[in-house]
Structure 1
Amino acid sequence: MQYLPDEDAYLCSEGRKLVVSGIRHAKSRTGFVSEKTCYTCKSCKDCPRKANCIHGNHSKQPLDERMKHFEVAKVFQQERQKDLARITSEHGIELRVNRNIQAEGAFADVKADRNYRRFLTKGHVNVEAETILLAMAHNIFKLHCKIQAQRLGVHLIQITVAA
């Protein structure tokens, strides 16, 4: 569907307009309230693509009487576009490359190099304390390696070096 921003409407492949029919507020289990804009076509009569376009075969209303209807969370779409621009920027690519190197490598180091396969204690509090000690040991070892390589001021590996 093609969005028409000046009219706040969508245009389907058959050239029919879907206009705003209302705004719905949905509350999630966590209490977050999202706002969704509802779009409805005024007339889907005699549309050749109606059977493929309109979903919900479990509806009691016959297909001939149904109209195309969908909802769009505009705030979500705007945030998604901002996030996409942020992660595809040069700095975002650099951060993603470094996450693969740093975060995934930490698990590999702990499991393979330290031969750490399971927790030695039981209970949430004890496992959390063991995890903190393990993370501290890993970070101290990383700091030691940085001191030896004289890379104390370098926090991110450059893309050209990593690629």
Structure 2
Amino acid sequence: MTIKPNIKTDLGILYRINRSIQVEGAFGIIKQDANFRRFLMRGKKNVFIEILLMAFGFDINKLHNKTMQNRNGQLLHKQQVS
């Protein structure tokens, strides 16, 4: 099973453009703005729960900001094909 046909479509290109912009920013915001540098809990299960809660909080904050700016369902960047 190959994924090349999926990523070569117009929708796949749009997803790749937006993902390349958003992923590093999320980690930077969590580290810098939320001051999240270390896990407080020990063990795989507890660390998983802690990062899951941090990610959930990040997503809720992002959704709240988009809702307040009336930008739900809109992309930040237009599709560019090279």
Q: Of the two, which has the highest radius of gyration?
A: 1
Contact 1:86 1:92 (C-alpha < 8 Å) held by counterparts = yes
Contact 2:39 2:47 (C-alpha < 8 Å) held by counterparts = yes
Aligned equivalents of 2:25, 2:76: Cα separation in 1: 14
**1:124 counterpart = 2:49:** no
Gaps of 5+ in 1: 1-78
TM-score (norm 2): 0.78
1:135 to 55, 65, 73: 55
Hey, which bits of structure 1, 4+ residues long, moved more than 2 A?
A: 83-86, 101-104, 156-161
TM-score (norm 1): 0.43
Contact 1:97 1:159 (C-alpha < 8 Å) held by counterparts = no
Provide the aligned length of Structure 1 versus Structure 2: 80
**1:95 counterpart = 2:20:** no
Gaps of 5+ in 2: none
Q: Hey, what does 1:3 align to over in structure 2? A: none
Identity over aligned pairs, percent: 41
Structure with a larger share of its residues in helix: 2
1:110 to 27, 30, 33: 30
How much is the aligned-residue C-alpha RMSD, in angstroms? 2.0
Q: Hey, what does 1:152 align to over in structure 2? A: 72
Higher relative contact order (CA 8 A, sep 6+): 2
Contact 2:6 2:12 (C-alpha < 8 Å) held by counterparts = yes
Letter in 1 for 2:39: F
Instruction: Report the alpha carbon displacement of residue 96 of structure 1 after superposing the two structures with TM.
Output: 0.2
